């Protein structure tokens, strides 16, 4: 078993190799692929129509609501992990506490549900 | 002086091992993608009474390779209005975490890149990084289809991430560890988690389908409405990298399912012949990949509102309930796992029975509301 820092160095190397490999593939493609840009080719694709305006604009608020809910439950997961790995040591106290914690979050979910925030238009 | 494996100096062995691990992971991603694409096309063809690829190589075996070469040699078009650096970075941001996931997959005993003591958490983190790349790709393309596709994917991925992560918790509860190796070892002698936690297996499986953009959750690529979603502006090898990452991701989630629920490398005679573990692991992983493909050929695509409500109103409550029930039963019966298994099978049965019933009730409600509205409108006219 390699020590703590070394094991994360391994992970780092995997990341670097992944990014480098993509660069390598695109580099090869850059070398062998033809390049004949025309104005039509470089135009943003809009099913053959002339593109109207920029795409960087507003989009529905629903995404934001779901993202907010996601953050709540993602943090929930982070807090549950250490408890799950050692829940036998915490015993019933741990279960009660986690139930309370999850209960608060679930009441938030129920609130969002009742407010129809989970409905997609 | 300490001596590493094969009589090598540890100072030489450590970097060598790292290089081997990374090289093997890359090899697996590339070959896995080639094999999977061929397998998928052939299987789809058989299921749809077609022939599939037959012309390039024997039985069309070299078709995918030919496609890959074609992608490499294709002109790389980047539209004028794209945000250059983010557009270029997006494929790497999707690909690198996927490759890094291979670091902790235990292929066999002592045959794992690095046995992190937080393996499950690490995999969960990497799984969520894909969303980042997809949002960046959708935004940087400066294309309306891409933006809508990217946002939809983000919405789908972050929603299904919650049940996916919460399903992992139950396995951690039963195995008592976050390390992939220890989780595998806790399932020796066929005491695999699938028998104990079938409900978590099913919820993770559904969430994994959504997480890898596979049918019936392949909304981001709903070509009839969004052209190609966040991939619309990507062509040539850039598109190929996204595709590679997607197939790599399918293998990763299948491998996670294998490790956490199917006992990973464990199987008969594996103790006397450790190399058999690799065969078992690959076999189990590809069994799940085949189920993925089978589902693709069978089911139609969900609608976005169905997708979101299924996740938030069915999957998440079920997974949360599963965690609490499992924890309580494990603590109440510290020596045996039978109560947990029984409860889980019962809950799975209830889940399978209740979902269509609830759906029918909901649909009846929607129809009644629509009818009432139509009547009101008729009166008003």
Residue B3 has pLDDT above 60, yes or no: no
Residue B77 to residues A29, B133, B137, B221, B237: CA-CA distances in angstroms?
Answer: 12, 19, 15, 20, 10
The more confidently predicted of residues B304 and B250 is: B250
Q: What is the mean pLDDT of residues B174-198?
A: 80
Q: What is the mean pLDDT of residues B133-141?
A: 86
Give A66→chain B minimum CA distance, Å.
7
Percent of chain B with pLDDT over 70: 95
pLDDT in tens, B140-161: 888 888 888 888 888 888 888 8
Residue B146 covered by a domain:
yes
- Are B61 and B156 in a shared domain? no
Residue B354 covered by a domain:
no
Q: Which helix (H) or strand (E) holds A71?
A: helix A62-85
End position of a domain, from candidates B42, B73, B104: B73
Q: What is the mean pLDDT of residues B23-49?
A: 84
Q: Where do we find the tokens 């629509």? A: B370
Give the residue from B324, B362, B77 showing the smallest Cα distance to A103: B324
Give the per-residue pLDDT at B216. 80
Provide the 3-class DSSP secondary structure of residue B108.
Answer: strand
Chain B residues 280-299 with CB within 8 Å of chain A:
none
Angle, helices B316-332/B198-211, rounded to nearest 10 degrees:
150
Q: Whole-angstrom Cα distance, residue B74 to residue B68?
A: 10
End position of a domain, from candidates B18, B52, B73: B73
pTM over 0.80: yes
- Are B21 and B117 in a shared domain? no
Residue B318 covered by a domain:
yes
Give the per-residue pLDDT at A1. 46
- On the CB side of B198, CA atoms within 13 Å amount to 14
Residue A79 to residues B176, B203, B257: CA-CA distances in angstroms?
Answer: 16, 20, 23
Q: Whole-angstrom Cα distance, residue B263 to residue B198?
A: 13
- Are B165 and B53 in a shared domain? no
In order of their start, the domains of chain A are 4-114 (1.20.58.1610)
Which residues of chain A neighbour B128 with C-beta distances below 8 Å? Answer: 74
Residue B51 covered by a domain:
yes
Which two structure tokens, joined as six digits, stand for B29? 């991603």
Residue B262 to residues A24, B171, B187, B293: CA-CA distances in angstroms?
Answer: 36, 11, 8, 19
Chain A residues 24-83 with CB within 8 Å of chain B:
25-26, 28-30, 32-37, 41-47, 51, 54-57, 59, 62-63, 66-67, 69-70, 73-74, 76-77, 80-81
Q: What is the ipTM of this complex?
A: 0.85
- DSSP labels, B238-296: HHHHHHHHHHHHHHHHHHHHHHHHS-TT--TTTTT-TTHHHHHHHHHHHHHHHHHHHHH
Q: Where do we find the tokens 């929607």? A: B366
Instruction: State the greatest distance between any 2 C-alpha atoms of chain B, in Å, as a whole number.
Output: 94
Residue A76 has pLDDT above 60, yes or no: yes
- Are B67 and B128 in a shared domain? no
* Counted domains in chain B: 2
Which two structure tokens, joined as six digits, stand for B324? 């609490």
- Are B30 and B166 in a shared domain? no
The total number of residues shown for chain B amounts to 381
- Are B221 and B93 in a shared domain? yes
pLDDT in tens, B79-107: 777 788 888 888 888 888 888 888 888 87
Q: Whole-angstrom Cα distance, residue A14 to residue B122?
A: 13
- Are B85 and B54 in a shared domain? no
- Are B190 and B143 in a shared domain? yes
Which two structure tokens, joined as six digits, stand for B267? 């199987």
Percent of chain B with pLDDT over 90: 1
End position of a domain, from candidates B54, B73, B92: B73
- Are B90 and B4 in a shared domain? no
- Are B112 and B204 in a shared domain? yes
Residue B365 covered by a domain:
no
Give the per-residue pLDDT at B1. 43
Residue B351 covered by a domain:
no
Residue B37 covered by a domain:
yes
Which two structure tokens, joined as six digits, stand for A97? 């506490």
Q: Whole-angstrom Cα distance, residue B158 to residue B318?
A: 17
Cβ–Cβ < 8 Å for B307, B156: yes
Residue B53 belongs to what domain range? 1-73
pLDDT in tens, A11-70: 888 888 888 888 888 888 888 878 887 877 777 777 777 777 777 777 777 888 888 888
Residue B286 covered by a domain:
yes
- Are B216 and B320 in a shared domain? yes
Residue of A nearest to B129 (CA): A15
Give the per-residue pLDDT at B222. 67
Which residues of chain B neighbour A81 with C-beta distances below 8 Å? Answer: 120-121, 169, 172, 178
- Are B300 and B225 in a shared domain? yes
């Amino acid at each position: 078993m390699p020590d703590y820092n070394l094991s994360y160095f391994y992970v780092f190397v995997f990341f670097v190799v992944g990014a480098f490999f993509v660069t390598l593939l695109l580099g090869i493609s850059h070398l062998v692929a033809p390049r004949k840009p025309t104005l039509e080719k470089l135009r943003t694709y809009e099913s053959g129509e002339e593109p109207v305006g920029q795409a960087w604009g507003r989009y529905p608020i629903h995404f934001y609501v779901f993202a907010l809910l996601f953050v709540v439950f993602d943090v929930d997961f982070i807090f549950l992990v250490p408890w799950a790995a050692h829940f036998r040591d915490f015993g019933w106290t741990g279960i009660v506490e986690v139930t309370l914690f999850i209960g608060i979050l679930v009441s938030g979910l129920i609130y969002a549900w009742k407010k129809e925030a989970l409905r997609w238009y | 002086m300490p001596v590493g494996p094969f009589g090598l100096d540890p100072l030489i062995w450590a970097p060598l091992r790292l290089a081997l691990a990374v090289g093997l992971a890359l090899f697996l991603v590339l070959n896995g993608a080639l094999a999977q694409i061929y397998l998928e096309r052939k299987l789809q063809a058989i299921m749809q009474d077609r022939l599939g690829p037959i012309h390039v190589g024997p039985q069309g075996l070299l078709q995918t390779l030919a496609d890959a070469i074609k992608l490499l040699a294709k002109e790389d078009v980047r539209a004028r209005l794209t945000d250059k650096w983010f557009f270029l970075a997006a494929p790497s941001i999707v690909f690198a975490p996927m490759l890094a996931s291979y670091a902790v997959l235990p292929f066999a005993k002592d045959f794992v890149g690095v046995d992190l003591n937080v393996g499950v958490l690490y995999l969960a983190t990497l799984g969520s990084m894909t969303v980042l790349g997809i949002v960046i790709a959708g935004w940087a393309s400066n294309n309306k289809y891409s933006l809508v596709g990217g946002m939809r994917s983000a919405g789908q991925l972050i929603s299904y991430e919650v049940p996916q992560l919460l399903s992992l918790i139950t396995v951690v509860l039963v195995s008592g560890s976050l390390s992939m190796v220890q989780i595998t070892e806790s399932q020796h002698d066929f005491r695999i988690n699938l028998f104990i936690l079938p409900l978590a297996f099913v919820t993770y499986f559904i969430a994994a389908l959504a997480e890898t953009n596979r049918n019936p959750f392949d909304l981001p690529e709903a070509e009839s409405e969004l052209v190609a979603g966040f991939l619309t502006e990507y062509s040539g090898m850039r598109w190929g990298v996204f595709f590679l990452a997607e197939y790599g991701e399918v293998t990763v989630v299948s491998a996670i399912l294998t490790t956490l629920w199917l006992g990973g490398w464990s199987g008969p005679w594996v103790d006397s012949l450790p190399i058999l573990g690799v065969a078992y692991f690959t076999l189990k992983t590809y069994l799940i990949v085949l189920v993925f493909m089978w589902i693709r050929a069978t089911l139609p695509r969900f609608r976005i509102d169905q997708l979101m409500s299924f996740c938030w109103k069915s999957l998440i409550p079920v997974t949360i309930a599963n965690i609490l029930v499992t924890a309580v039963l494990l603590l109440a019966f510290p020596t045996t796992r039978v109560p947990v298994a029984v409860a889980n099978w019962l809950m799975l049965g209830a889940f399978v029975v209740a979902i269509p019933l609830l759906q029918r009730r909901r649909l009846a409600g929607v129809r009644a509301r629509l009818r009432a509205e139509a009547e009101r409108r008729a009166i008003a006219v």
